[in-house]
Amino acid sequence: MRLPLSWLLEYAAIDVAPDDAAGVADLSRRLTACGLEVESVEPVGHDISGVVVAEVLDVAELTGFSKPIRYCQVSIADGQQRHVICGARNFTAGDRVALALPGAVLPGGFEIGARKTYGRVSEGMICSARELAIGEDHAGIMVLPADAPLGADFVTYAGLRDVVFDINVTPDKGFALSVRGVARELAISYQVPFTDPADVGLPADVAATSPEVHPVSIEDTTACDRIVLREVRGIDPATPTPLAMKIRLARAGQRPVSLAVDVTNYLMLELGQPLHAFDRARLHGPIVVRRAQPGEKLETLDHVVRTLDPEDILITDESGPISLAGTMGGVATEVSDSSHDVVIEAAHFSARGIARMSRRHKLGSEASARFERGVDPQLPPRASARATTMLAALGGGTVVPGCSLAGEEIEPVRIAMAADYPDQVAGLVYGLETVQKRLREVGCAVAHMPGSAADRPDGAGAGNGAVAVGVEVAVPIPDAGPADRRTRPDHGRHDRPGLTLLVTAPSWRPDLTDPADLAEEVIRLEGYQDIPVRAVRAVGGRGLTRRQRLRRTLSRALAADGYVEVICSPFTSAGDFDRLQLPAGDQRRQAVRLANPLSDDEPLMRTTLLPGIFRTLARNLGRGFSDVSLYEFGMVFRPKSGAPPVAPILPVDRAPTEQEVARLGAALPDQPLHVAAVLTGNAEPAGYWGAGRPAGWQDAIEAARLVLRTSRLTFSVRADRHEPWHPGRCAAIVIGNEQGQEWLAGHAGELHPRVIAAFDLPARTSAMELDLSVITTAADAAGPVQPPALWSYPLAVQDVALVVPRAVPAADVERALAAGAAAAGDVRLESLSLFDVYTGGQVGEGFKSLAYTLRFRAPDRTLTAEEVRGARDAAVAEAARQTGAVQRGGSS
């Protein structure tokens, strides 16, 4: 909301001049401090000099140039005449104009000199509105009123020196989308008198109706609870809008159009009430406010023909829709340069109805922005009266006395509030006087709830308000002026009965509905700087959960292992699923679809982290890095099969039931947390010491193992086939527990060459992706760590080499050895490690040799050689049984 200082000062009696930088800064600070954040303070008109009011004496048309050019004789004052060249044609001899003399400076530091052009010397320039930064109009020069004093400094004459505040009005503060609202806030801040522009220049009886005025009725009171029409007849449509009004409109960001439209816009800015001007001659029969009927259409002022929705709120006449209510008028009834009789419409429409209509038609306007945020329902009779009065005075017409009115009296909102409720919110004692004063300043009527302090020991009187949430039983407040204000000693609530205030909110503050709203008014006007700081109280938290700790530990483990954490885009597409070579029925193809994605190319939420991290890898490669290992923690989104397609909107006046919460949960997708890693180039860097070690499938699987090991889970690595991995180089990571249950944690290995090609990655790029929700759930289920008994009898070490068919996984051999050793009495296999893998002539084609070190220990004795051999043989025998292993060298 852009508003010039001069306009605000018209209604708030503040003594600050536009060139008083300190005063302006203070005013800006005060606006921000009361909740009207000033985004910019723009001094205007200060950079213009040397522009005077001049009269055009004679116009000579020059010919022979590419465009028509005028050579004008102008007079500044008696005897002072000059000649200027001008390309505009919208003036004649006798018009008064703004003339920039040689030496003049225009906005932007643009200096005017005497110069020769079009074969003549031009002693200055006749200015357009745009050249003076008071409008966009550059079609012609600005013709001034005939009474503009000749020779006067134009800046002074037009009051151009001003300051424009751009205020960011939050959605709750509809009242601040007007001079009226902002000036009232300023008057409170400065504690100076405020003149309500809604009370200025009204007829004696604003509510008087008259059959002379165009008739109106409301068909649907949920759409509109009040509408007022007034009429002006016989205006001269060619009357120019007064310069001062044009300047204010321009400064507020409105384009001057015509007198009737400018007056309605001007009053909308001043009062906050959107108004519409109809050409009376183009109306057919009575005006009716109603919802749209099926198939109706309306061409709005932006020349778009709109198909109307049955929910749309319309102004109609017998011809059909003539205006999208509170949003935009229709072309057919628009005032034009031939409109002599004008009907002014002012109404109070449903905020929600206008909001929905505006969104539906993707059509926001100054009017709809105000209705959505709440307009004063008492304004329509007043604003319309001011409009007709102004229009008649300026345009030479006659006001038809009285109005035509439909709708109902709108009851004000009454709120019961414990008198010390603001104190309880702020943690500060304001005192009854301050609370009442502040509420009255914003326009509330404040009364004491009868009997609330004395007769109602239960304080139940507080429940009488329109909305009683937050109302508390209160103690009588000692009156505390600003001087002896003190911090409340206990910050708590009180169990003794107290005074309840019955507060009637002003009609212009539809945002005031609850005690909390009233408390905020008191607190913000008294100032947030007064709120004390209370030291943090210790509360009994339990710290991070095991899952939360584990997540941090896993992240550190991967980083310590050389992976760099990245945060990738969570958006994806069916194309990504194709690039991943996912088969048609793959669960990962079932994705959450967005209604309004950031990019139409990526309308889905990710079901796997891989495409995002592949792209991030490619970006790093593109930036010249060749050895890159990345990891990401992030949610993936998997729609539940059979889930209800729509999540219900539950009521908010009570807590939802368990069933209702369950219905919400059922409609949401599963959102497990995943971890993914990808790596390419060298896993161990090359250097002057020699070659590096290329990253490969082993590293990706080791990254997965690292996650599982760090989670202290029992797991196995199994050969698997799973897209997007290389079918011969893909491992499934499976968590198991002692009860024999198993959970798939994820996959790791080298990527399929087609996937590598599709994502434009280097050959042999490897990756892993694990479901951390599965992992942390399993880790959470595991009890506390039970460390082994630390037996101190000597260790017995045995090496065995086993020959197995090449297809037998080492993990199977290892598992069989361990099982066999475990069955061999009270000898414990303390550890088992693979120290050699051999394939070659000595073990025969299609076989491999796996060499293990087995370490045995007993709790209570030194193992004999016989016992150790026995345990080893038991292990080997089990491996032979399960995997067909044959001990190499045959010593058994």
Partner 1 sequence: MSAPNKAYDPVEAATLSAGELQRMQADALAAIAAAANLDELKTARLAHAGDRAPLTLANAEIGALPPAARADAGKRVGAARAAVRAALVQRQADLEAERDRRVLVDEAVDVTLPWDRPMSLDGARHPVTTVGERLADVFVSMGYEIAEGPEVEAEWYNFDALNFPPDHPAREMQDTIFVAGPEPGERSGKVLRTHTSPVQIRAMLTRPLPLYVVSPGKCYRSDALDATHSPVFHQIECLAVDEGLTMADLRGAINAFVEAMFGEGLQTRLRPDFFPFTEPSADVSMQCHVCRGASAKPGGEPCRVCRSQGWIELAGCGMVNPRVLVACGIDPDRYSGFAFGLGIERSVMVRHGVADIRDTLEGDVRFSRAFGMEA
Site for partner 1 in 408-437 (CB under 8 A): 424-428
Compute the least distance from the CB of residue 304 to partner 1, in Å: 19
Binding of residue 352 to partner 1 (CB under 8 A): yes
In the bound state with partner 1, the residue whose beta carbon lies nearer, of 246 and 373, is 373
In the bound state with partner 1, the residue whose beta carbon lies nearer, of 138 and 534, is 534
Q: Which range, of 265-273, 560-568, 572-580, 715-723, touches partner 1 by CB under 8 A? A: 560-568
Residue 270 host element (H or E) = helix 259-271
Query: Are the C-beta atoms of residues 701 and 717 closer than 8 Å to each other?
Result: yes
Compute the least distance from the CB of residue 456 to partner 1, in Å: 15
Binding of residue 548 to partner 1 (CB under 8 A): yes
Binding of residue 668 to partner 1 (CB under 8 A): yes
Compute the least distance from the CB of residue 453 to partner 1, in Å: 18
Window 435-474: residues binding partner 1 (CB under 8 A): 469-472
Compute the least distance from the CB of residue 422 to partner 1, in Å: 9
Q: Is the dihedral of CA 443, 449, 453, 458 positive or negative?
A: negative
In the bound state with partner 1, the residue whose beta carbon lies nearer, of 112 and 512, is 512
In the bound state with partner 1, the residue whose beta carbon lies nearer, of 527 and 575, is 527
In the bound state with partner 1, the residue whose beta carbon lies nearer, of 521 and 878, is 521
Binding of residue 712 to partner 1 (CB under 8 A): no
Compute the least distance from the CB of residue 492 to partner 1, in Å: 4
Please give the structure tokens belonging to residue 891: 């010593």
φ/ψ of residue 80, rounded to 5: -95, 105
Binding of residue 356 to partner 1 (CB under 8 A): yes
Query: Are the C-beta atoms of residues 317 and 283 closer than 8 Å to each other?
Result: yes
Please give the structure tokens belonging to residue 132: 């003076």
Please give the structure tokens belonging to residue 667: 């409609």
Binding of residue 515 to partner 1 (CB under 8 A): yes
Compute the least distance from the CB of residue 321 to partner 1, in Å: 21
Q: Where are the beta strands (DSSP E) in 328-473?
A: 328-329, 342-349, 398-399, 404-407, 414-418, 445-448
Binding of residue 648 to partner 1 (CB under 8 A): yes
φ/ψ of residue 597, rounded to 5: -65, 155
Q: Where are the beta strands (DSSP E) in 63-123?
A: 69-77, 80-86, 96-106, 110-111, 115-117, 120-122
Q: Which range, of 126-134, 369-377, 396-404, 749-757, touches partner 1 by CB under 8 A? A: 369-377
In the bound state with partner 1, the residue whose beta carbon lies nearer, of 284 and 352, is 352
Q: Is the dihedral of CA 400, 405, 409, 413 positive or negative?
A: negative
Among 93, 319, 440, 625, binds partner 1 (CB under 8 A): 625
As to burial, measured by CB atoms within 10 angstroms (0-12 exposed, 13-18 middle, 19+ buried), residue 642 is exposed
Beta carbons within 10 angstroms of residue 186's beta carbon? 24
Q: Which range, of 83-91, 551-559, 818-826, 838-846, touches partner 1 by CB under 8 A? A: 551-559
Among 115, 440, 552, 881, binds partner 1 (CB under 8 A): 552
Among 13, 475, 664, 810, binds partner 1 (CB under 8 A): 664
Binding of residue 865 to partner 1 (CB under 8 A): no
Residues 6+ apart with CB under 8 A from 680: 617, 621, 626, 627, 628, 695, 761, 762, 764, 765, 766
Query: Are the C-beta atoms of residues 389 and 403 closer than 8 Å to each other?
Result: no
Cα gap 182→38, rounded to integer Å: 11
Cα gap 247→262, rounded to integer Å: 11
Cα gap 821→823, rounded to integer Å: 5
In the bound state with partner 1, the residue whose beta carbon lies nearer, of 548 and 714, is 548
Binding of residue 773 to partner 1 (CB under 8 A): no
Cα gap 131→106, rounded to integer Å: 7
Cα gap 665→685, rounded to integer Å: 48
Cα gap 868→827, rounded to integer Å: 8
Among 331, 410, 516, 851, binds partner 1 (CB under 8 A): 516
Compute the least distance from the CB of residue 692 to partner 1, in Å: 9
Binding of residue 616 to partner 1 (CB under 8 A): yes
In the bound state with partner 1, the residue whose beta carbon lies nearer, of 322 and 678, is 678
Among 47, 296, 366, 565, binds partner 1 (CB under 8 A): 565
In the bound state with partner 1, the residue whose beta carbon lies nearer, of 209 and 682, is 682
Q: What SS3 string covers 688-732?
A: CCECCEECCHHHHHHHHHHHHHHCCCCEEEEECCCCCEEEEEEEE
Compute the least distance from the CB of residue 784 to partner 1, in Å: 21
Among 21, 93, 257, 567, binds partner 1 (CB under 8 A): 567
Among 115, 284, 297, 493, binds partner 1 (CB under 8 A): 493
Cα gap 76→54, rounded to integer Å: 5
Among 297, 486, 496, 556, binds partner 1 (CB under 8 A): 556
Window 170-229: residues binding partner 1 (CB under 8 A): 170-173
Among 445, 454, 655, 837, binds partner 1 (CB under 8 A): 655
In the bound state with partner 1, the residue whose beta carbon lies nearer, of 194 and 371, is 371
Query: Are the C-beta atoms of residues 469 and 514 closer than 8 Å to each other?
Result: yes
In the bound state with partner 1, the residue whose beta carbon lies nearer, of 689 and 786, is 689
In the bound state with partner 1, the residue whose beta carbon lies nearer, of 514 and 750, is 514
**Site track 673-702 with partner 1 (rule: CB under 8 A), x = hit:** ---------xxxx-x-x-------------
Window 518-537: residues binding partner 1 (CB under 8 A): 519-520, 523-524, 528-529, 531-537
DSSP 534-576: -PPPP-----S-HHHHHHHHHHHHHHHTT-EE-----EE-HHH
In the bound state with partner 1, the residue whose beta carbon lies nearer, of 70 and 438, is 438
**Site track 54-93 with partner 1 (rule: CB under 8 A), x = hit:** ----------------------------------------
Compute the least distance from the CB of residue 821 to partner 1, in Å: 31
| Torsion of Cα atoms, 267 then 270 then 273 then 277, to 10° | 10
Task: Kindly report the length of the chain.
Answer: 892
Compute the least distance from the CB of residue 700 to partner 1, in Å: 13
123 CA to centre of own chain: 53
Compute the least distance from the CB of residue 314 to partner 1, in Å: 18
Q: How many residues bind partner 1 (CB under 8 A)?
A: 120
**Site track 16-45 with partner 1 (rule: CB under 8 A), x = hit:** ----------------xxxx-x--------
Q: Which range, of 60-68, 485-493, 574-582, 870-878, touches partner 1 by CB under 8 A? A: 485-493
Please, what's the b/e burial string for 669-693 (b: 16 or more CB within 10 A of its CB; e: otherwise)? beeebbbbbbbbbbbeeeeeeeeee
Compute the least distance from the CB of residue 585 to partner 1, in Å: 22
Q: Which range, of 3-11, 236-244, 651-659, 765-773, touches partner 1 by CB under 8 A? A: 651-659
Compute the least distance from the CB of residue 289 to partner 1, in Å: 19
> Residue 86 in 3-state DSSP?
strand
Binding of residue 489 to partner 1 (CB under 8 A): no
Cis peptide before 724 (omega within 30 of 0): yes
The order of strands in the sheet holding 313-317 is 216-218, 287-291, 313-317, 320-324, 328-329
Cα gap 607→588, rounded to integer Å: 5
589 CA to centre of own chain: 30
Cα gap 20→12, rounded to integer Å: 17
